[in-house]
């Protein structure tokens, strides 16, 4: 049976991170150019808006989207940057192998003298 996926309580999550950074929801709301009660009202909705999450992530210096991306199937969890790094890793492994083979050829020449 498939496990039911749950999302975090966004209001409590943001309050917790704000408290750790000694900021209030009112201050965050005004930093976003909104009314002081904006976040208190907006975060009660369990369906978070991605732009709001991104803006809050930046203000709080934390990735608030991580909990949501973790709900995706594993094949969809990799980011563009991760895929680029995996490609770069494969290229570097090939280069390392090539350099190792070249070193071995030189070493054989040196030994043969």
pLDDT digits (tens, 9 = 90+) for 10-58: 899 999 999 999 999 999 999 999 999 999 999 988 788 899 999 999 9
DSSP annotation of 2 reads P
Answer yes or no: do 84 and 49 share one domain.
no
> Does 83 lie in the same domain as 41?
no
Query: What integer best gives the mean pLDDT of the chain?
Result: 89
**In sequence order, which residues have a C-beta less than 8 Å from that of residue 39 and are 6 or more positions away?**
14, 25, 26, 28, 29, 32, 56
Is the pLDDT score of 3 beyond 70? no
In this structure, the number of other CB atoms found within 10 A of the CB of residue 33 comes to: 7
pLDDT(112) > 90: no
81 pLDDT band, cuts 50/70/90, is confident
Same domain for 29 and 5? yes
Structural domain count of the chain:
2
Residues 84 and 39 in one domain: no
Verdict on whether the full-model pTM lies above 0.75: no
Token pair of 86, please? Answer: 């995996």
Same domain flag for 64 and 11: yes
Q: Are residues 63 and 84 in the same domain?
A: no
**By residue range, what is the domain housing residue 34?**
1-72
- pLDDT band at residue 2 using 50, 70 and 90 as cut-offs: low
58 and 87, same structural domain? no
Residues 54 and 84 in one domain: no
């Amino acid at each position: 049976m498939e496990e039911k996926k749950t999302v975090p309580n966004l209001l409590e999550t943001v309050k917790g991170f704000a408290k750790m950074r000694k900021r209030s929801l009112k201050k965050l709301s005004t930093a976003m150019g909104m009314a002081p009660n904006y976040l208190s009202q907006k975060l009660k909705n369990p369906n978070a808006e991605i732009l709001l999450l991104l803006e809050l992530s930046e203000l709080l210096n934390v990735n608030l989207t991580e909990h949501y991306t973790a709900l995706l199937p594993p094949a969809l969890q990799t980011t563009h940057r991760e895929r680029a790094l995996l490609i770069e890793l494969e290229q570097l492994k090939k280069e390392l192998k090539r350099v190792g083979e070249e070193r071995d050829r030189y070493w054989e020449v040196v030994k043969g003298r």
